[in-house]
Chains A and B, each alone.
Chain A
Amino acid sequence: MRTISDPSQFWIYLAEQPLFFLVLTVLAYLAGDRISQATNRHPVANPVLIAVVIVGSVLLLTGTPHARYFEGARFVHVLLGPATVALALPIIRHRALIRRQWRAIVGAMVIGAGVGVISAAGLAKALGLSAGTVASIAPKSVTAAIAMGISEQLGGTPPLTAVLVIATGILGGILITPLMNLIRVRDYAARGFAAGLAAHGIGTARALQVNEKAGAHAALAMGLNGLVTALLAPLLLLLL
């Protein structure tokens, strides 16, 4: 370890430590979570959005490249894998209810998946976006790894798809509560299912934060929509 003789070298020293970016990520999230709690989980005070703004501002102000940031942040990112597996927990806990509502689940799944893809591709086309962008935005509602695969299959740009997927998740996490209040859907099963289907893991995180029954249905919708959209992708090729 190098010694720090000059205070101006302090930043350079810190920025070399992957641990610094891990600490920044966790502290920014804690700040976001506190703000979210203080506003009674207000949808706009989304903890992911707040943390991204804080971390993003630090990176922009200090001119830190994303790859350097990710050296530290990947320790958090890696946990997404086992956390996704753990989404089986709320699903299993609510299995009796899910089994009873299988018709609603299958119907909402098929129609919702179709609307998600066709509305995104159709609007993008109508607004005159390039064919590559239309293909990149079509799978925006499914979890990032699946969406990137579909995007590639359709002739899109997978890294652009990853960005659009994350933006969809944050947007969905913010929109779900006010939209459901607006259309007066009060059943947490329906609310959660819509959140997970349209806004994958980030929508599921929001649903889990609000209500466990909503979280269970969101997790189920996220997993199923990944499957359904991946299977529908070849058909989409004909539409685009």
Chain B
Amino acid sequence: MLEGFAALIVLQLAGEVIAGLTRLPIPGPVIGLGLLAAYALWRGGIPEPIEQAGEALLKHLSLLFVPAGVGLIAFGDRLLAEGTRLIAVLFVSTALTMIVTALVFRALAKPEDE
């Protein structure tokens, strides 16, 4: 479990270093995700300790967004300044993006998986 957690933060750090060196506009953890996926494809699977630590983190992924979410309250007055128009844009654009994405996916998907 601890070995798995160590591997995850090492991969994150590797991602941060790569992001810093290459000046890619991609955050370190997302590069770490790619590194882990590439490693797993090469080895044909994910080592058990990483599996265990990763599952423990993903089981309550929502919890990890709470501190950032509380920022909504802290900067709420910014939201309120341009208020309803911002919320309207977010609402319509997010709904539209999800609908179009799902419909395109379905139209191009191989039928057996429907």
CA separation between A89 and B7, bound complex, in Å? Answer: 13
CA separation between A73 and B30, bound complex, in Å? Answer: 22
The answer on a CB contact under 8 Å between A60 and B8 is: no
The answer on a CB contact under 8 Å between A164 and B86 is: yes
What count of chain B residues pass the 8 Å CB interface test? Answer: 76
Q: List the B residue with the shortest CB-CB distance to A133.
A: B82
B72-96 CB mask vs A (1 if < 8 Å, else 0) is 1111001100100111111111111
A15 on interface, CB distance cutoff 8 Å: no
A47 on interface, CB distance cutoff 8 Å: yes
- Tell me the minimal C-beta distance from B60 to chain A in angstroms: 7
> Known contacts A73-B70, A129-B86, A163-B71; is A108 also within 8 Å of B105 by CB?
yes
- 15 new A-B contacts, CB < 8 A, other than A59-B70, A166-B65, are A26-B63, A56-B72, A69-B70, A81-B9, A84-B12, A85-B54, A104-B106, A119-B92, A141-B93, A160-B75, A162-B68, A175-B98, A179-B98, A193-B102, A223-B33
Query: Which A positions have Cβ atoms within 8 angstroms of B?
Result: 25-26, 28-29, 32-33, 47-49, 51-52, 55-56, 59-60, 66, 69-70, 73-74, 76-77, 79-92, 95, 97, 100-101, 103-105, 107-108, 111-112, 115-116, 119-120, 123-124, 127-130, 133, 137, 140-141, 143-146, 149-150, 153, 159-160, 162-164, 166-172, 175-176, 179-180, 183, 185-187, 189-191, 193-195, 197-199, 201-202, 204-206, 208-209, 215, 219, 221, 223, 226-227, 230, 233
